[in-house]
Amino acid sequence: MTTSLAPRTDERALAALQQEHGTALLGFLLSLTQGDRQRAEDLVQETFVRAWQHPEALTSAHDSMRPWLFTVGRRLAIDARRARRSRPNEVGAEVLDRSAAPEDLAERSATELDVREAVRALRTEHREVLVQVYFRGRSVAEASTVLGIPEGTVKSRTHYALRALRGVLPGYEEGSGRGAA
C-alpha cells in the first residue's frame, strides 16, 4: 500500500519567507499574547508550519505573503486562547505549598467516634457537664443554671471529665498539651 505525501513548500522558499516576515510576525503575535515571548514564538513556528503545509498559498497573486501569515497567526492565537480558557488554570508548586492540606474526613470521623465512645464511658455527672459546656456551648454560669449545681462544681467536674477523657483517648494522654474536646 503506497501513501502519497501532500506537496510541501520548498525549504529555500520557506526560509526566505521566514527571513522576510519572521520578525514582523513575531512582533504582531507578541501584541496578541500580551508580551508572552514563548507563546508568540510557538505561534510563529506554527504559522510557518502552516505555510510549509500549504504551498499553494505562496503561489497566490498577492503582492506579499505578510497578510496571509498575519491572518494564520491571528487565528492560531485565537484558537490557543480559547483552548487555554476551556481548561482550568494551572497551579504552580508555590501555590500548592501555601495551600492548606485537604481535611481528612475519614480521620475526622474516626476521631469523632473515639470521642463519643469516651464521653459515653464517663460518669453521668461528668458527661452532663461536658455536654452543656462543650457540645452546647454554654458558659459555666449557664451550665450551672441548667444543671442546678454551683458554678464551682461545674468547673471542677469539667476539669475531672477532661482529665478522664485524656486518659482514654489515643494521643490525648495527661501532659501531652493537646485538648480533648
How confident is the model at residue 179, as a pLDDT?
A: 43
Residues 128 and 161 in one domain: yes
Residue 180 domain-assigned?
Answer: no
Examine the pLDDT at 120 and tell me if it is beyond 50. Answer: yes
Residue 158 domain-assigned?
Answer: yes
Are the CB atoms for 172 and 166 separated by under 8 Å? yes
Residues 85-104 pLDDT 10s: 887 776 667 766 676 666 77
Question: What is the extent of the structural domain holding 110?
Answer: 105-168
Residues 78 and 19 in one domain: yes
How confident is the model at residue 1, as a pLDDT?
A: 52
36: domain CATH number is 1.10.1740
128: domain CATH number is 1.10.10.10
Threshold 0.75, pTM exceeds: no
Residue ending a domain, choose from 60, 87, 114: 87
Residue ending a domain, choose from 87, 113, 134: 87
Residue 147 domain-assigned?
Answer: yes
Residue 10's contacts (CB-CB under 8 Å, 6 or more residues apart) are 55
Quote the number of domains for the chain: 2
Residues 16 and 72 in one domain: yes
Examine the pLDDT at 181 and tell me if it is beyond 50. Answer: no
Are the CB atoms for 181 and 130 separated by under 8 Å? yes
Cβ-based burial of 156 (10 A; exposed 0-12, middle 13-18, buried ≥19): middle
Residue 4 domain-assigned?
Answer: no
Residues 151-165 pLDDT 10s: 999 999 999 998 988
Residue 66 domain-assigned?
Answer: yes
Residue 97 domain-assigned?
Answer: no
Cell of 174: 495527661
Residues 64-73 pLDDT 10s: 888 889 999 9
Residue 5 domain-assigned?
Answer: no
What is the Cα 40 distance to its own chain's centre? 26
Mean pLDDT along residues 95-117 = 75
Cell of 149: 449545681
